[in-house]
């Protein structure tokens, strides 16, 4: 029996070697068969990854009890409520080359049937670590029996060698952090060969655009001149939207799962007072009370809180894209809306179908493309003037430029979900508020250029239906539980984005994430059902901002102190005090919004006007002194205060406090 077992192990080793040779060359992974051991923890060629507190060697060990081949396999254990995982060693990365394909094969099993994750971490450099766009992550369904998995990525399609120069294989035992789960892997092989794909996709990084227009020049003082006779463009008033989760959301509002309207009257009034110009719901077709009832309830809610139906974006399918609805169901939604006289006309086809989570139905961009085109045709047959939204991942060429090109002519708006992933624990306040935004806004402009490239004869716009500051906590906490994503850090971050979104005609509208949360997970939320008297700092930002965006953007010029920072290897610079000046029709009122992205410094500000003589000024500021405060406050006065504004000879002067936003209303 021992000899038979030895012959079996030898045969498995030979088979793995022959497989590597057949697929184009040597195995690029060190110790992929896990036959080499180390004194404790991961075997040679493999490294614990993630937050330091999760790097427990006993969870990442060799296991000889039931290998697929040879003497041992790699055991990856995920205790409940943790976030550790493993990567192939950074000391031996896969060094990518242009026009090459990389085939990956491995065997895996788990202690129980369910989802694990395989993918790639990508870097421009390892010493120091500089992140690069990943070729992707893939859910894998694994059970107690050994199962083989194969993946292939192509340079020029899935990634680009000039950016994603170094790849690490990544294995996560589970995609659900609260779950306890054990994954075993064995016989991991990666080979390189020439890619048969000769066409190359367009990476967003390579798109050339004009620099972001800051309207101001570097200077020691904040001195602006506003020309009220020059109206640059209509202000993007739709920038000030906030997205609902679902009709029956995770926080159990505004409707219960039984379909009962349970929104507290204080919260209903609070939403009305934000004067929201747009919103978005997803998974409308996944509610337990049915699609048509969900549409009716969404319409009723919008009427209660004063948000227009015609600027509301509806997405029907499960939020994790774990299932899809037949095109006829989408058509049914449009037909029902028309029959009821609703003004719904914006349909977003799937929510983030590109994330690669366990159980997702769109395993490739082509699988999603087929679904999108079928849904689009069904919707237009019922509602010819509807607007169809295409979700893209700007960081994935196959989920961005490929989809934009293949679906060109069939979409009316593009959804990019422009979250910023700055680290609120390590980055300076100025880089979180300013540098991250200036870098992200340039990305939005590049996406606009790609959209125009593939749709030269058609107007296609961006609607950003989810965005915000998205950083994990210092101990690996999910972004929902990180105060700085939503307190004065995240609020100033959003204020700067709102200024540019409203001023620069970068997109048609934006609806940030998200309306409701719970007090113990405040990282994105505006309101909490269990505390209807409380409001988040976000709430007071939007409450003020939507009252200070007029009809048209006025021309501004002048100087401001500038900040220079880095996002990855990219240097970005822009004003510490970005400003927005808009006017109502006939200049009956002029509105000024100025953000101060410096944590420590206040700035005296002077604003001169041409073609407008202000006689009265009403000013408020939004600020908070505690960088780690809970984002929810009891009173408006906890974050809003009066701003003293002097008027002399038609000129304004005031002092902008540190880490604050000023809102000023001027009347002649």
Give the pLDDT confidence of 100-150 residue by residue, as tens digits: 999 999 999 999 999 999 999 999 999 888 888 899 888 899 999 999 999
Q: CATH top-level class for 2-194?
A: mainly beta
Taking each helix axis from N to C terminus, what angle separates 327-340 and 291-305, rounded to the nearest 10 degrees?
A: 50
Is-contact 495 503, C-beta < 8 A?
no
* Confidence check: pLDDT of 497 > 90: yes
**pLDDT band per the 50, 70, 90 thresholds, residue 278:** very high
For domain 553-667, give its CATH number from 3.40.190.10, 3.90.105.10, 2.60.40.1180, 1.10.3470.10.
2.60.40.1180
Residues in CB range of 18: below 8 A, 6 or more apart: none
Judge whether residue 20 has pLDDT over 70.
Answer: no
pLDDT tens digits along 529-573: 999 999 999 999 999 999 999 999 999 999 999 999 999 878 999
pLDDT tens readout for residues 322-336? 899 999 999 999 999
Are 119 and 137 spatial neighbours (Cβ–Cβ below 8 Å)? yes
pLDDT digits (tens, 9 = 90+) for 499-539: 999 999 999 999 999 999 999 999 999 999 999 999 999 99
Closest CA to 480 of 438, 520, 439: 520
Note the Cα 623 to chain centre separation in Å. 25
pLDDT at 131: 87
pLDDT at 15: 46
DSSP 469-506: B----TTS--GGG-GGGTSHHHHHHHHHHHHHHHHS--
pLDDT band for 371, please (50, 70, 90 cuts): very high
Same fold across 234-541 and 553-667: no
Give me the percent of the chain exceeding a pLDDT of 70: 96
Listed in sequence order, the residues at least 6 apart from 603 whose beta carbon sits closer than 8 Å to its beta carbon are: 221, 222, 560, 561, 576, 577, 596, 655, 656
How confident is the model at residue 17, as a pLDDT? 44
Whether the model clears a pTM of 0.75, i.e. scores above it, the answer is yes
pLDDT average, residue stretch 179-198: 97
pLDDT in tens, 583-633: 998 889 999 999 999 999 999 999 999 999 999 999 999 999 999 999 999
| CA 92/CA 317 separation, integer angstroms | 42
pLDDT given at position 177:
83
Cis omega (within 30 of 0) for bond into 514: yes
Radius of gyration of the chain (CA): 27
H or E segment to which residue 554 belongs? strand 552-560
Q: What pLDDT, on the 0 to 100 scale, is given for residue 41?
A: 86
CA atoms within 13 A on the CB side of 6: 3
CA distance 482 to 531: 19
| Helix (H), strand (E) at residue 340 | helix 327-340
pLDDT given at position 417: 97
CATH superfamily of this structure's domain 234-541: Glycosidases (3.20.20.80)
Cα angle, residue 214 at apex, residues 209 and 216 outer, rounded to 5°: 140
Average pLDDT over residues 231-240: 98
Residue that wins the pLDDT comparison between 75 and 24: 75
Q: Could you write out the three-class secondary structure of 144-199?
A: CCCEEEEEEEEECCCECCCCCCEEEEEEECCCCCCCCEEEEEEEEEEEEEECCCCC
Q: Pick from 20, 171, 186, 153: which is nearest to 89 by CA?
A: 171
439, 390 in Cβ contact below 8 A? Answer: no
Q: So where are the chain's domains?
A: 2-194, 234-541, 553-667
pLDDT band at 16 (very low <50, low <70, confident <90, very high): very low
With 50 as the cut, is the pLDDT of residue 23 above it? Answer: no
| pLDDT, the chain, mean | 94
Whether pLDDT at 582 is above 80: yes
């Amino acid at each position: 029996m021992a000899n038979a077992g030895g012959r079996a192990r030898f045969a498995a080793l030979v088979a793995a070697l022959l497989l590597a040779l057949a697929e184009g060359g040597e195995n690029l992974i060190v110790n992929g068969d896990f036959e080499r051991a180390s004194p404790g923890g991961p075997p040679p060629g493999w490294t614990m990854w993630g937050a330091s507190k999760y790097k427990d060697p006993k969870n990442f060990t060799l296991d000889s009890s039931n290998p697929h081949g040879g003497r041992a396999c790699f055991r990856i254990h995920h205790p409940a409520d943790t976030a550790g995982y493993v990567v192939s060693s950074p000391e031996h990365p896969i060094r990518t080359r242009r026009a090459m394909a990389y085939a990956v094969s491995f065997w895996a099993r788990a202690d129980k049937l369910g989802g694990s994750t395989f993918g790639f971490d990508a870097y421009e450099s390892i010493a120091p670590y500089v992140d690069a766009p990943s070729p992707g992550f893939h859910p894998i369904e694994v059970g107690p029996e050994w199962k083989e998995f194969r993946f292939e990525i192509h340079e020029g399609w899935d990634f680009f060698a000039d950016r994603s120069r170094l790849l690490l294989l990544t294995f996560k035992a589970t995609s659900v952090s609260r779950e306890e789960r054990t994954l075993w892997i064995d016989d991991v092989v990666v080979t390189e060969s020439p890619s048969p794909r000769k066409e190359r996709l367009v990476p967003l990084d390579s798109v050339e655009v004009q620099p972001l227009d800051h309207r101001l020049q570097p200077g020691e003082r904040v001195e602006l001149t506003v020309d009220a006779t020059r109206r640059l463009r209509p202000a993007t008033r739709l920038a000030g939207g906030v997205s609902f989760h679902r009709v029956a959301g995770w926080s159990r509002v505004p409707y219960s799962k039984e379909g009962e309207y349970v929104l507290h009257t204080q919260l209903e009034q609070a939403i009305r007072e934000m004067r929201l110009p747009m919103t978005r719901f997803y998974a409308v077709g996944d509610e337990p009370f049915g699609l048509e009832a969900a549409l009716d309830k969404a319409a009723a809610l919008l009427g209660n809180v004063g948000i227009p139906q015609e600027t509301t974006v509806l997405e029907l399918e499960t939020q994790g894209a774990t299932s899809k609805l037949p095109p006829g169901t989408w058509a049914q939604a449009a037909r029902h809306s028309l029959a009821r006289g609703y003004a719904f006309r914006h349909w977003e086809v799937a929510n983030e179908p590109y994330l690669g989570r366990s159980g997702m139905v769109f395993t490739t961009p082509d699988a999603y493309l087929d679904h999108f085109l079928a849904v689009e045709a069904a919707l237009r047959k019922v509602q010819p003037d509807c607007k169809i939204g295409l979700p893209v991942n700007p960081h994935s060429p196959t989920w961005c430029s490929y989809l934009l090109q293949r679906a060109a002519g069939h979409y009316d708006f593009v959804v990019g979900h422009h979250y910023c992933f700055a680290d609120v624990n390590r980055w300076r306040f100025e880089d979180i508020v300013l540098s991250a935004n200036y870098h992200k806004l340039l990305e939005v402009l590049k996406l606009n250029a790609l959209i125009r490239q593939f749709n030269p004869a058609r107007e296609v716009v961006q609607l950003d239906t989810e965005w915000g500051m998205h950083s994990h906590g210092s101990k690996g906490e999910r972004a929902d539980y990180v105060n700085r994503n939503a307190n004065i850090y995240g609020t100033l971050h959003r204020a700067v984005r709102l200024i540019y979104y409203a001023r620069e005609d970068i997109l048609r509208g934006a609806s940030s994430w998200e309306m409701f949360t719970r007090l113990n997970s405040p990282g994105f939320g505006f309101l909490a059902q269990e505390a209807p008297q409380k409001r988040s700092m976000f709430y007071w930002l939007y409450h003020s901002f939507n009252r200070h965006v007029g009809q048209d953007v006025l021309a501004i010029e002048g100087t401001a102190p500038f900040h220079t920072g880095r996002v990855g290897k990219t240097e970005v610079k822009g004003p510490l005090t970005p400003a927005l000046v808009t006017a109502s029709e006939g200049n009956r009122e002029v509105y000024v919004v100025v953000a101060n992205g410096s944590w420590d410094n206040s700035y005296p500000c002077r604003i001169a006007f041409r073609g407008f003589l202000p006689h009265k000024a009403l000013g408020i500021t939004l600020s908070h002194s505690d960088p780690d405060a809970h984002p929810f406050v009891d009173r408006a006065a906890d974050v809003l205060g009066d701003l003293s504004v002097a008027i002399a000879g038609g000129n304004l002067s005031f002092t902008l406090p540190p880490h604050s936003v000023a809102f000023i209303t001027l009347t002649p």
